Structure 1
């Protein structure tokens, strides 16, 4: 029963995180529709249409990313083409603030590997508070899939609680909506018999690494 309650609580925290991320673009859609209803000036109506289009695109990009990063990615079977992950990440950082370097040559990756890759990429990208370069690599080696995410920019800040969640040092009761995804990534990798490594605090470059044994795939 405790495990069930914990699972429900975690699901609630993760849902809160996703709703928070979607609130801004969905709210902008609503605002745009309200403006359209009262506006008669052609130029202003065009601006409203531009706002609606941008908000709809942002909402769709986030939903595509969340489907792969947090959902079951139905329709892909046991493995996912890495290109789908690349498109999802590009959509999340479509503003151009973060430049993506993609170094994945595999034709297919297990769903777990894709889920880990996407979440680490999102955490690293968000840590580039003034933008920068986000490099992502993944490679299958005998018995293991290795993932590396590297973030570099003018200002790199990884929330200490996110770091703790990834490192497995988050104190009891410290799990919250903003740390739920990081906690989930570590839990999935550890359950698979793998490991996650992080660069030390204070480094000018943020590095995440994950190794996932094949038996988990």
Structure 2
């Protein structure tokens, strides 16, 4: 399937704007209330609203900078501690989601970082009523293996997202919600790897095997897969 990189970039930008609209809107409301509010208690609540909105916006920007963008400077690999911090911070924002980690790596190439962060995003969003996200990352010597399991009382994972991960979503049917799944598929394919997913009544499982390629900077490879 031929992929239009411009369209995919547009959809990723739309997803970014959609996710930032809520915290930025909250900050805007807080400023409007603060301008005319004279009661000390109410002003304190407005300031708290602004602080929460600023924290959520900063968290999402840092997360999406690596998950969607080409961030990370000139280093081919990023420390796993930085990735773990981002996932833990995103899970803590507005959802009753706990995160558990099993790791045997100190760092990851950028392609693996993108797959891990976007998988983690799907896992966190799959738990609207809270739950547990378990992430495992291993270097087998020939490939990085990523496995994520989301468990909770309700699992929200759209069929269209699964189709995009499988490569069964026509380009003209992609939207801002499914574009990250297409990005995962393309990045994985660019490494010569692949992804898997499975949903049951109480769990969502996401997995990827990314063979070592030595082309750590080519996170955009495979746009014509």
1:171 CA displacement: 3.4
CA contact (8 A) 2:60 2:90 kept: yes
Aligned counterpart, 2:59? 61
CA RMSD of aligned residues (A): 1.5
Higher RCO by CA contacts (8 Å cutoff, separation 6 or greater): 2
How far apart, CA to CA, are the structure 2 residues paired with 1:41 and 1:76? 50
Aligned residues: 213
Richer in helix (by share)? 1
Partner of 1:176, secondary structure, is: coil
Where do 4+ consecutive residues of structure 1 move more than 6 Å? none
Structure 1: segments with no counterpart, 5+ residues: none
Structure 2: segments with no counterpart, 5+ residues: 217-225
How far apart, CA to CA, are the structure 1 residues paired with 2:171 and 2:115? 23
Aligned counterpart, 1:83? 81
How far apart, CA to CA, are the structure 1 residues paired with 2:49 and 2:118? 28
CA contact (8 A) 2:23 2:56 kept: yes
Residue 158 (str. 1) matches residue 157 (str. 2)? yes
Aligned counterpart, 1:144? 143
Residue 119 to residue 90, structure 1, CA distance change in 2 (3 Å): same
Q: Select the residue among 10, 13, 25 that pairs with 2:11.
A: 13
Aligned counterpart, 1:99? 98
With normalisation by structure 2, the TM-score equals: 0.90
1:203 CA displacement: 4.6
1:103 CA displacement: 1.2
1:129 CA displacement: 2.0
1:96 CA displacement: 4.8
1:141 CA displacement: 0.9
Aligned counterpart, 1:116? 115
With normalisation by structure 1, the TM-score equals: 0.93
CA contact (8 A) 2:104 2:139 kept: no
